[in-house]
Each structure stands twice: as structure tokens, then as C-alpha cells.
């Protein structure tokens, strides 16, 4: 019998499923801490947790531990790297809480629109302040959804009942899928400038942290409302506080730097605050618990590894090729533009990489879409592509091309309603170093993707590199490397300048204007 510990008040369906299976002894208790429970049962085979922290210390107390399951999507409370070092699989149950979060968003919108919370407090004190609590209606308003994954799509589905117009921003979802969801795709700035309610459904990472900031708050309409049931760090709270002092905008939130009691830094500026209730429904608790029990049984009896978030790299695959896949995808998405939406992904894996297509696709999807975790597996990646309406083709490779152990990615994005843009990139590993060997028609580039760089594609002619270099030097920025391949066939050149620090957006745009660049961008790898 394999002992499973559940140190939380998770729905009993998980324990029931495991007990009925006959191969598990289940110990579930929310009356003691996780530390106390694992000390009482050091022979545990598996842990099923909700928000409990699974630290190195907890893992070290369980020498027989093989599986940790987070009954929910986020797994930031689990030390997944340390778990992997101990050969422990960590799994999650994505999607189990999605509807609960979507409904919470609607509840917060309605509570704000009708002043439910302050009206309740006032009425309980014996007051009768009908005029003070005059509200607004959600019907026929414009709803902006930032992040159109599973939760974002469910929010769109729910607000349709209020006859709302729906705008959305997500660089990964296809235009066809967005249309199917009733969402008009737009840029971040357009969503913030036009929406009455803006709901955030994006992860917190290096690219999204504080991305909802003064630039976006300043274009919001008076009376507009932001709902944040995603992550606290995506909002620049200082910027929000400053703009709120100047105009009538509201923030409804249930996410904070830490999930615990105590003062919250946003308390002075937020209009509604809830204690991270997104997943706190009986139904979500049941769904997550059921999924956790089923996944443990499927892992043990069927070898299904779909939801392992800290998988080992397959034997025979160099980890650098995983990073290469991620980097070329990130670069391709950058070239096509942050405001474009992904239509299709085509890949070619040459040489010894061909058997690892399933693993490497996950890295590519994560590189194109910030909302997808690179630790997921191929099944999850394919499901995600289908959910977002993105076509995927893995092409049969031609060994005669001689691209030993190389990866080619073609990314097609929709720039607007009528324009598609495709970029093709190839990369490889040379002498132990990741190299971008081709971008579009510019072959033999051999660019090492580290640090910061600016890219310009322009009609080939003398003096362009000097013009670019001069403008960058005027900003006091040191140039560390220059690659400048030409294409006789197209008559174009590519200038890649690796720089000590990225020049500001205005400088890059001015250089592009000065040299009449066909396309340009700056990136920090």
C-alpha cells in the first residue's frame, strides 16, 4: 500500500478515489500543520496539497516521497527544482478552478457597479442611503479581457449574457478563435482606452511584471474598472495610486504579494479587496480534488505524465536544445510584433533532434506565449494550441540539406484583419554555444542570443551601419558586436547590434525612421 498524505481540507473525493482503488492508504487532516503531519508519517509516497508550502525541509522529512500534486493550477508554493533533484514528480490540475475564477470576476464587477459592499454596511447600521448608492448597469458595457486563455474565454462567455461588447488582448490566440469567442482583438492601449471593465488573466513573469502601469492607466476612461484575479505583481501599484489621484478609476483585486493575513500595500487604493477567493468554491474544490486523485492513479497505473511540471529532460537530449527552441520562438514572436496574434506554427527538427519533437514543441509554445509553462508536456501543448485556435505542423526534414541537429521555426501571425506576417528562424548549437544561424533570408548569421540587441532590416546600401552606430553612441551606449549579412536576391540587409544596454523605444524608432527600415525591434534575451 502506498501512503498518501493530504494535509488540507480538500474535498474528500480525492481520498475516496484513492481508497477505492485499493492500492493507497490515505491520511487526510487539516487539524495539524503539514510539518506535523509529515513528521508523523515519514514513509509517505505522495503528497496532495492546496496552498500549503512544500519546502526543501518538508521534502527532506519524506525520504520515500515520489509524487507531489498541487490540487490547483499554480505551483509556486512547491520547490519543484529541489523535488526534481530528489527524483520527485510534481503535478498540478490546471483548469479545475477556471470557472470559479471567471464567476468571481463577474461577481466583483456587479458588486462594484451596484455598490453592494458599502450599501450592505450602511444598511446594517440602520441608515437608508438610496441616493448615495446610485449604481450603474453591466449591460451593454465594453469589457476588456487581457489574456484569453481558459479563464479569459470563460469570462467572455459569461459576460455575453449581459449583452456586452468584448475587446481582448492576447498575442497568442488566433483571430478565428477570438471571433468564435465573441472577442474583438485589439492592442493593450486600445483595450484600456475603450473598456469600461478590464479584467486581467495573465501570469506574472519578467515580461509581465508591472506591465499594467502608468502608460495604460493614463488612457483609461473616467469610471473605468480594473479587475485583478491574476497576480498582484502584474500591476504597478504606485502608478495606479498616482493616476487614481487624478482621475476616477477603480481596482478590484483578490491577489497580493503573499497569501496571508496582515496589511496589504494596495489597501489605500483598491476599491474591493477579497482574500484570494478565486478558487474557493465547493465545485472548484471538488474538481481539483477529483483531478488530483485521478492523476495519481493514472501516473502509477498507466504512466500518464501529462501534468508533471518538473519533468526530467529525456535521456539523449542536450538541455541546450530546449533553451534553443525557447529562444528562437521568443525571437520569432518579437519580430512579428507584440500586438500580432499567432495563426500557425511550423517546425523542422533536423538530425538527432527529430525524435524529441514532442518535448521541444513545449519549449516553442512557451517561447511564443508567456502564459504557457515550459515544464508542461506535449499533450498539454497540443491542447493549448487547439484551445487558442493555432495551427501546428511538424514538417518532415530533408537530410540532404545538411542541417545537422538544427531547429527551424516558421511563425505566422496576424498583424491586422487583412495582413499576415511569417518569420522563419533556424538555430543550432555550435561548440557548446546556442547560435541563431538564420533569420529569414539572412543565412550564416551565427548570432549568440545573450544580452541585449537591436535588429533592423533595410534596403542594402552604404552608410547605414555608420548611421545606426552613431545614433547609439550618442546615447552613451556601447556596441559589443555587429552582424550585418546581406541578401543579393532580395537586396536587403540585416543589422544586428549587440549592445551593453537597450536604447529607449524612441531611439530605436528614430533610427528605424532615419534608415527607412522595413522592420525593427529591440530584445533582451
Task: Specify if 217 maps to a domain.
Answer: yes
Q: Is the pLDDT of residue 260 over 90?
A: no
Which residue did the predictor score with more confidence, 254 or 417? 254
Q: Is the pLDDT of residue 162 over 90?
A: yes
Residue-level pLDDT at 363: 93
Phi, psi (degrees; rounded to nearest 5) at 93: -125, 65
323 lies in the same domain as 456: yes
Helices (runs of H) and strands (runs of E) counted in the chain: 17, 22
Task: Specify if 307 maps to a domain.
Answer: no
Alpha helices in 337-477, H assignment, sequence order: 357-368, 378-387, 464-474
Residue for cell digits 465594453? Answer: 142
Region 72-76: what's the mean pLDDT? 84
Task: Specify if 314 maps to a domain.
Answer: no
User: What is the domain count for the chain?
Assistant: 3
Tell me the C-alpha distance between 367 and 361, whole Å.
10
Which residue did the predictor score with more confidence, 237 or 309? 237
Residue-level pLDDT at 74: 80
Quickly state the pLDDT bin for 342 (edges 50, 70, 90).
Answer: very high
Sign (positive or negative) of CA dihedral 261, 14, 280, 149: positive
Quickly state the pLDDT bin for 129 (edges 50, 70, 90).
Answer: very high
Q: 66-80, 130-144, 364-378: which has the minimum mean pLDDT? A: 364-378
| Domain membership of residue 79 as a residue range | 2-96+283-302
Task: Specify if 76 maps to a domain.
Answer: yes
178 lies in the same domain as 41: no
Q: What is the CATH number of the domain that holds 480?
A: 3.30.70.260
251 lies in the same domain as 130: yes
- Burial environment of residue 299 by CB neighbours within 10 A (0 to 12, 13 to 18, 19 or more): buried
Tell me the C-alpha distance between 112 and 135, whole Å.
8
Mind listing the pLDDT tens digit for each residue in 395-450? 988 776 767 889 999 999 988 878 899 999 999 999 889 999 999 999 989 999 99
422 lies in the same domain as 327: yes
Quickly state the pLDDT bin for 368 (edges 50, 70, 90).
Answer: very high
Q: What is the CATH number of the domain that holds 200?
A: 3.40.50.720
45 lies in the same domain as 131: no
329 lies in the same domain as 468: yes
Are 206 and 181 spatial neighbours (Cβ–Cβ below 8 Å)?
A: no
Are 109 and 87 spatial neighbours (Cβ–Cβ below 8 Å)?
A: no
Number of neighbours of residue 11 by Cβ within 10 angstroms: 20
Task: Give which of 519, 500, 496 is closest to 509, Cα–Cα.
Answer: 519
9 lies in the same domain as 155: no
Task: Specify if 308 maps to a domain.
Answer: no
68 lies in the same domain as 37: yes
76 lies in the same domain as 174: no
Task: Specify if 212 maps to a domain.
Answer: yes
214 lies in the same domain as 247: yes
115 lies in the same domain as 170: yes
Angle between helices 150-159 and 98-113 (to 10 degrees): 40
Mind listing the pLDDT tens digit for each residue in 275-295? 999 989 999 999 999 999 999
Percent of the chain with pLDDT over 70: 99
Task: Specify if 310 maps to a domain.
Answer: no
Task: Specify if 278 maps to a domain.
Answer: no
Q: 176-180, 218-222, 371-375, 441-445: which has the minimum mean pLDDT? A: 371-375
129 lies in the same domain as 84: no
Region 123-138: what's the mean pLDDT? 96
pTM: 0.81
Residue-level pLDDT at 223: 96
Quickly state the pLDDT bin for 349 (edges 50, 70, 90).
Answer: very high
Q: Is the pLDDT of residue 361 over 70?
A: yes
Amino acid at each position: 500500500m502506498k501512503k498518501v498524505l493530504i494535509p488540507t481540507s480538500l474535498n474528500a473525493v480525492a481520498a475516496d478515489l484513492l481508497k477505492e482503488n485499493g492500492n493507497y492508504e490515505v491520511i487526510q487532516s487539516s487539524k495539524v500543520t503539514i510539518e506535523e503531519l509529515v513528521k508523523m508519517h515519514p514513509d509517505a509516497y505522495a503528497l496532495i496539497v492546496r496552498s500549503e508550502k512544500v519546502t526543501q525541509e518538508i521534502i527532506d522529512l519524506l525520504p520515500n516521497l515520489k509524487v507531489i500534486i498541487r490540487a490547483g493550477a499554480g505551483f509556486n508554493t512547491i520547490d519543484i527544482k529541489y523535488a526534481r533533484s530528489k527524483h520527485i514528480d510534481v503535478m498540478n490540475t490546471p483548469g479545475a478552478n477556471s470557472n470559479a475564477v471567471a464567476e468571481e470576476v463577474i461577481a466583483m464587477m456587479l458588486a462594484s457597479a451596484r455598490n453592494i459592499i458599502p450599501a450592505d454596511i450602511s444598511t446594517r447600521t440602520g441608515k437608508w442611503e438610496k441616493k448615495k448608492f446610485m449604481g450603474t448597469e453591466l449591460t451593454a458595457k465594453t469589457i476588456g479581457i487581457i489574456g484569453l486563455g481558459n479563464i479569459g474565454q470563460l469570462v467572455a462567455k459569461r459576460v455575453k449574457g449581459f449583452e456586452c461588447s468584448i475587446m481582448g488582448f492576447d498575442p497568442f490566440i488566433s483571430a478565428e478563435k477570438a471571433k468564435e469567442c465573441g472577442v474583438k482583438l485589439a492592442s493593450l492601449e486600445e483595450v484600456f482606452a475603450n473598456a469600461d471593465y478590464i479584467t486581467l488573466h495573465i501570469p506574472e513573469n519578467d515580461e509581465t511584471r508591472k506591465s499594467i502601469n502608468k502608460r495604460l492607466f493614463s488612457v483609461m476612461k473616467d469610471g473605468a474598472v480594473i479587475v485583478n484575479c491574476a497576480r498582484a505583481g502584474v500591476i504597478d501599484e504606485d502608478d495606479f495610486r498616482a493616476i487614481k489621484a487624478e482621475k476616477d478609476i477603480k481596482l478590484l483585486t483578490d491577489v497580493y504579494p503573499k497569501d496571508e493575513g496582515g496589511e496589504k500595500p494596495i489597501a489605500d487604493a483598491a476599491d474591493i479587496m477579497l482574500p484570494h477567493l478565486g478558487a474557493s468554491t465547493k465545485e472548484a474544490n471538488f474538481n481539483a480534488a477529483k483531478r488530483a486523485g485521478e492523476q495519481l492513479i493514472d501516473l502509477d497505473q498507466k504512466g500518464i505524465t501529462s501534468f508533471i511540471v518538473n519533468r526530467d529532460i529525456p535521456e539523449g537530449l542536450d538541455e541546450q536544445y530546449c533553451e534553443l527552441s525557447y529562444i528562437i520562438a521568443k525571437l520569432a514572436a518579437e519580430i512579428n510584433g507584440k500586438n500580432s496574434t499567432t495563426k500557425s506554427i511550423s517546425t523542422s527538427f533536423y538530425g538527432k533532434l527529430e525524435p524529441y519533437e514532442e518535448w521541444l514543441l513545449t519549449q516553442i509554445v512557451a517561447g511564443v506565449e508567456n502564459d504557457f509553462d515550459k515544464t508542461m508536456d506535449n499533450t498539454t501543448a497540443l491542447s493549448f494550441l487547439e484551445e487558442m485556435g493555432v495551427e501546428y505542423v511538424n514538417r518532415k526534414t530533408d537530410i540532404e540539406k545538411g542541417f545537422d541537429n538544427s531547429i527551424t521555426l516558421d511563425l505566422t501571425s496576424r498583424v491586422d484583419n487583412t495582413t499576415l506576417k511569417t518569420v522563419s528562424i533556424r538555430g543550432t548549437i555550435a561548440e557548446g554555444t546556442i547560435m541563431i544561424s538564420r533569420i529569414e533570408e539572412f543565412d550564416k548569421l551565427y548570432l549568440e542570443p545573450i544580452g541585449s540587441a537591436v535588429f533592423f532590416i533595410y534596403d542594402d546600401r552604404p552608410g547605414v551601419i555608420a548611421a545606426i552606430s552613431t545614433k547609439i553612441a550618442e546615447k552613451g551606449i556601447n556596441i559589443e558586436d555587429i552582424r550585418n549579412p546581406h541578401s543579393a536576391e532580395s537586396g536587403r540587409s540585416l543589422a544586428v547590434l549587440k549592445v551593453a544596454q537597450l536604447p529607449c523605444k524612441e531611439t530605436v524608432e528614430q533610427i528605424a525612421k532615419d534608415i527607412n527600415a522595413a522592420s525593427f525591434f529591440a530584445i533582451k534575451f
